[in-house]
Amino acid sequence: MQIMTVKEKVASLREEMKKNNIEAFIVYSADPHMSEYLPDEWQERTWISGFTGSAGFVVVTMDKAGLWTDGRYFTQGPVELEGSGIDLFKDGVEGTPNYVDWIISQTSENAKVAVNALATSNANWEKVKTKLESKGCELVDKPLLKNIWTDRGTESRNPVFVHPIERAGQSVVDKLSAIREKMKEEDATAHIISSLDDVAWTVNLRGSDVDCNPVFLGYVYLSLENAILFVDTDKLEDASKASMKESGVEIQEYNSFFDYLKTLKNETILVSENSNQSIFEAVKENNTLIKKAVPGHLMKAIKNEAELKGFESVMVRDGVAMVNFLHWLTNTVGKEELDEYQIGQKLLDFRKKGKYFVGNSFDSIVGYKGNGAIIHYSAPEKGSSKVSDYGSILIDSGGQYLDGTTDITRTLPLGEVTKEFKEDATRALQGMIRLSMVKFPKGTKGVQLDVLARQALWEVGKDYNHGTGHGVGSFMNVHEGPQSIRKELNDIDLVPGMVLSNEPGYYVEGEYGIRHENLFVVKEWKKTKWNSFYEFETLTYCPFFSSIIVKDLLSQEEIDWLNQYHNACEEKLAPHLKGEVKEWFLEMVKPI
């Protein structure tokens, strides 16, 4: 098969558009499960444009084409789009038109606009549709790339295996019964689960169809009596088949899902508006829809005892890997030639020595000096920056283990660093500590606590442009909802059992990036006559580099917290360390 250029691809798309009387076609970066990481065969946006960034979408009209992406890709975008005939539209920059407005301005009065409904959520579909219709345009579902991109890889055939009850902590039967209770509360007779982590959680199975996420392509359909898992049955290990049978879950082929949906009649279906629009197209005519969040989504976020036991155990293995790695790095840098990519690989090697290790929970971010300031930096395999014994390096990484998932960031001085760097590092750490120390009543949401992580920076007119905390799965996606700690409003209460990251940072473009990240879990603190009060218990064990802390900036309570944390690290990790590493580690955890 001949390799097509972007120009040729766009030209072919325009032919398809012409045949179908479509004036504009939108290519989102999405799969049918609205996954954060896309399987290869769903990289439609990258295929049509050549642009490889993690965020952005393309609009093609008969004579123009544009890519909308955000500030992270204003440098990379033009490079990758060069010669493609696709213009870059800078999202978030004053004067950049909204893409729907732009479509309306570029098309005729009653234009038909198309998307592939499989690759967009119902929520987005409705938003775009309403806007287009208000101007007389129409939105239709046409998977126009299907006939053009014919050599897309087929789905992976990775095994789907059982996540056993000792680790899951709750049987499939109990999960289904809890979900059905919620369905009844909503007067629903049926329920569709399409997000891959929710599918995997519900049926206590795991896979590896998506990089770094232990999930597999699948849907769950649930009625009050029956449960069906739609999955490529060839991928199911025998134990998985047996487990489904035992749990009363019927198995049907992944590819038969939409045909099945079309047979549904007179059901009241609970379905998330984050499910793909094709689901809605298949059931909307003959059924009543209740658009609500998947009930299992919140259940999944609240870890049970078995899952928390897993986290505790994993954190020791991950901490040992981190300490060995940090010792290696600080003792090797300046002596051997190293680059960012090699450092990331070395960290992976250290993690691989840990029991139950499966793989990275995301692509490690190893950012030396100015690269540390690029929030979603990914060091290329070839030609990443050389790392030497001056300046600082930011390392954000995590592991998937059969019994848990980790996510940790440490910022290291590799030689002398400036006074300003130390002050910034201290203020960011202060944020992490203040958030770790807070006690808060039942009913508190993440947006209320976010300020604690930022205030020490705000005091000097500084800030960081990302969230402070995201949910973390249990041998599951490293990013999960519904809870968060961010500036943005999110109505979800923080409740005991929720695991979150705590990761304030500070970034100076071209110079350095700082981020300190631990995971913590919401725990009961005490019941008072006022309310139940909660606190965070830190899960991550790995020392911070005291040499970048300006002690005078910290309050006594903050110093005490740090010393106690290092003391806890010592208790947990020292028994698993030896020789030189142990000596180095014991220096690291000394009180400041």
Selected binder of a copy of itself within 306, 374, 438, 495 (CB under 8 A): 438
Give the position of tokens 């090697």.
349
Q: Closer to a copy of itself at the Cβ: 211 or 420? A: 420
- The closest alpha carbon to 152, from 11, 275, 46, 32, belongs to 46
- 91 binds a copy of itself per the rule CB under 8 A: no
Q: Which stretch binds a copy of itself (CB under 8 A): 51-59, 153-161, 333-341, 447-455?
A: 447-455
How far is 558 from 455, CA to CA, in rounded Å? 14
Min separation Cβ 354 and a copy of itself, Å: 37
Answer whether 355's CB lies under 8 Å from 370's CB. no
Contact window for a copy of itself (CB under 8 A) among 140-148, 233-241, 322-330, 448-456: 448-456
> Which residue in the set 292, 309, 376, 462 belongs to the binding site for a copy of itself (CB under 8 A)?
462
Which CB sits closer to a copy of itself, 555 or 564?
A: 555
Which of 162-170, 226-234, 303-311, 530-538 is the region at the interface with a copy of itself (rule: CB under 8 A)? Answer: 530-538
Q: Which of 173, 302, 451, 553 binds a copy of itself (CB under 8 A)?
A: 451
Residue 330 CB coordination number (10 Å): 16
Considering only residues 467-506, where is the footprint of a copy of itself by CB under 8 A?
A: 487, 489, 491
Cβ proximity to a copy of itself, 356 vs 533, nearer residue: 533
Q: In what order do the strands lie in the sheet with 227-231?
A: 249-253, 227-231, 218-223, 190-193, 268-271, 288-291
Position 137: which residue type?
A: C
Cα distance between residue 56 and residue 432, in whole Å: 31
Per-residue x/- marks for a copy of itself, 168-207, CB under 8 A? ----------------------------------------
Q: Which of 96, 106, 268, 455 binds a copy of itself (CB under 8 A)?
A: 455
Exposed (0-12), middle (13-18) or buried (19+): which is 225, by Cβ within 10 Å?
Answer: exposed
Q: Which is closer to a copy of itself, CB of 65 or CB of 435?
A: 435
- Comparing C-alpha atoms, which of 391, 319, 354 is closest to residue 538? 319
Shortest separation between residue 184's beta carbon and a copy of itself, angstroms:
16
Tell me which residues in 539-578 interact with a copy of itself (CB under 8 A). 555
Is 463 or 587 the residue whose CB approaches a copy of itself more closely?
A: 463
Nearer to a copy of itself, 348 or 451 (CB): 451
By CB under 8 A, residue 458 contacts a copy of itself: yes
DSSP strand pairing (408-413 vs 392-397):
antiparallel
Near a copy of itself by CB under 8 A: residue from 254, 258, 260, 525: 525
Q: Does 151 bind a copy of itself (CB under 8 A)?
A: no
Cα 471 from Cα 480, distance rounded (Å):
5
- As given in the structure block, the two tokens for residue 545 are 């580099």
The b/e string for 371-393 (b: 16+ C-beta within 10 A; e otherwise) is bbbbbebbbeeeebbebeeebbb
Task: Tell whether residue 452 is a contact of a copy of itself (CB under 8 A).
Answer: yes
Tell which one of 447, 495, 550, 574 touches a copy of itself (CB under 8 A): 447
530 sits near a copy of itself (criterion: CB under 8 A) = yes
Tell me the site size for a copy of itself, rule CB under 8 A: 29
Of 75 and 528, nearer to a copy of itself (C-beta) is 528
Is 140:120 a contact under the CB 8 Å cutoff?
no
| Contact with a copy of itself (CB under 8 A) among 71, 78, 136, 443 | 443
Binding piece for a copy of itself, criterion CB under 8 A, among 228-236, 361-369, 415-423, 457-465: 457-465
284 binds a copy of itself (CB under 8 A): no
Minimum distance between the CB of residue 546 and a copy of itself, rounded to whole angstroms? 24
Residue given tokens 């609205």 in the structure block: 34
User: What's the min distance (Å) between Cβ of 475 and a copy of itself?
Assistant: 32
Cβ atoms of residues 217 and 232 within 8 Å: yes
The token duo for 264 is: 């549904």
Torsion sign over Cα 389, 395, 401, 405: positive
The span from the CA of 71 to the CA of 90, in Å, is 7
Residues 56 and 68: their CA atoms lie apart, in Å, by 5
Residue 437 CB, nearest distance to a copy of itself (Å)? 9
Nearer to a copy of itself, 28 or 534 (CB): 534
Please report, as residue ranges, which positions from 105 to 144 form the binding site for a copy of itself (by CB under 8 A): none
User: Which of 253, 416, 463, 524 contacts a copy of itself by CB under 8 A?
Assistant: 463
**Does residue 230 contact residue 220 with C-beta atoms inside 8 Å?**
yes
Q: Which of 533, 563, 572, 574 binds a copy of itself (CB under 8 A)?
A: 533
Q: Which of 214, 222, 242 is nearest to 178 (CA)?
A: 222
Strand ranges for 361-498 from DSSP E: 365-368, 386-387, 392-397, 399-401, 404-405, 408-413, 439-441, 469-471, 480-485
Is position 531 an interface residue for a copy of itself (rule: CB under 8 A)? yes
Q: Quick one: angle between helices 305-332 and 579-588, nearest 10?
A: 100
What is d(CA 166, CA 147) in angstroms, rounded to the nearest whole number? 46
User: Judged by CB under 8 A, which stretch of 417-425, 455-463, 537-545, 576-584 contacts a copy of itself?
Assistant: 455-463
Query: Cβ of residue 78: shortest distance to a copy of itself, in angstroms?
Result: 24
The yes or no reply on residue 263 touching a copy of itself (CB under 8 A) is no
Site residues (vs a copy of itself, CB under 8 A):
438-441, 443-445, 447-452, 455, 458-459, 461-463, 487, 489, 491, 525-526, 528, 530-531, 533, 555
